Copies of this chain bind each other. A is one copy, B any other.
């Protein structure tokens, strides 16, 4: 079944997702702040929207994939924003990594206008998005979730229904990114311990990734951290810091001390201060190494 879908946000993640929706036969009406980016999608058959509101259709479905909370508020709540036009019966599927606090605010704003807000943040990098290999966590009202579920399944390899409150999916996403950062710090310390005790970093990374931690995060980031290969950035350190900060902000609001999250936050902040904001966020691993007196990059 194909349908007309609004789409807002053609960034690194939004672009492959939008393309997949088009290739699946859906008619997309797309808004992007930098309008030239829409051109190739128009060639694939999409329509160009003049504003976020213009991308939405009353009672329809609109997707958004937005960089951060502030921009999300603009494209959704402010003048010419999605909510201006979406209206009663519409469903807004937000795939962005946002704060649970904003999700709560957006859910309320949608509800007040008779629309539904569904949070559907994703796990995976742009390549995974292109290959329809994303993992998607969906939270929101049951009816709205059911309506958009088939679309989610077209976009990823697995869909997890988290709960009825959109913010819950954002919490899962932030928790997940925190877990990744924690695993990287753990490997950074372990590999440095190995290095100073005669075990080559690559050897340790190999053993770890083939035995009890035989999973993508330890294998992929383990290799990068062992080889200290942080360019090109698959996920930029500055974005990583933003996400860990969102996790800590959420922890603060809900009174959850998270010392390990603080530790990785400190590592990322230090990496920023040392001018590594453009590297992959795995470069947080340099902290453990340099603390041990091993050469700066």
Instruction: Report A's interface with B, CB cutoff 8 A.
Output: 100, 123, 135, 137, 158, 160, 162-163, 165, 167-168, 171-172, 174-176, 178-180, 182-183, 185-187, 189-194, 196-199, 203-204, 206-208, 210-218, 245, 247, 250-252, 254-263, 265-267, 269-270, 272-275, 287-288, 291-293
Q: How far is the CB of A159 from chain B (nearest CB, A)?
A: 11
B250→A189 contact, CB < 8 A: no
Q: How far is the CB of A295 from chain B (nearest CB, A)?
A: 11
Contact of A213 among B160, B165, B179 (CB under 8 A): B179
* Copies of this chain, count: 4
The residue among A182, A207, A266 with the most chain B CB atoms within 10 A of its own CB is A207
Q: How far is the CB of A162 from chain B (nearest CB, A)?
A: 6
A168→B199 contact, CB < 8 A: yes
| A–B pairs, 20, beta carbons within 8 Å | A100-B197, A158-B210, A160-B206, A162-B203, A163-B198, A163-B203, A165-B198, A167-B197, A167-B198, A171-B198, A172-B204, A176-B207, A180-B212, A212-B215, A214-B215, A215-B215, A252-B269, A254-B292, A255-B269, A257-B266
Enumerate chain B residues within 8 angstroms of A210, measured Cβ to Cβ.
135, 158, 160
Enumerate chain B residues within 8 angstroms of A257, measured Cβ to Cβ.
266-267, 269-270, 273, 288, 291-292
Enumerate chain B residues within 8 angstroms of A274, measured Cβ to Cβ.
293
Enumerate chain B residues within 8 angstroms of A174, measured Cβ to Cβ.
193
Enumerate chain B residues within 8 angstroms of A247, measured Cβ to Cβ.
193
Main DSSP-derived SS at the A contact region: helix
Q: How far is the CA of A174 from the CA of B197 in the complex (A)?
A: 12
Q: How far is the CB of A79 from chain B (nearest CB, A)?
A: 22
Q: How far is the CA of A185 from the CA of B189 in the complex (A)?
A: 15
Q: How far is the CB of A125 from chain B (nearest CB, A)?
A: 11
A135's nearest neighbour on chain B, judged by CB, is: B211
Enumerate chain B residues within 8 angstroms of A194, measured Cβ to Cβ.
171-172, 175
Q: How far is the CA of A71 from the CA of B174 in the complex (A)?
A: 31
Q: How far is the CB of A196 from chain B (nearest CB, A)?
A: 4
B190→A204 contact, CB < 8 A: no
Q: How far is the CA of A160 from the CA of B245 in the complex (A)?
A: 35
A137→B293 contact, CB < 8 A: no
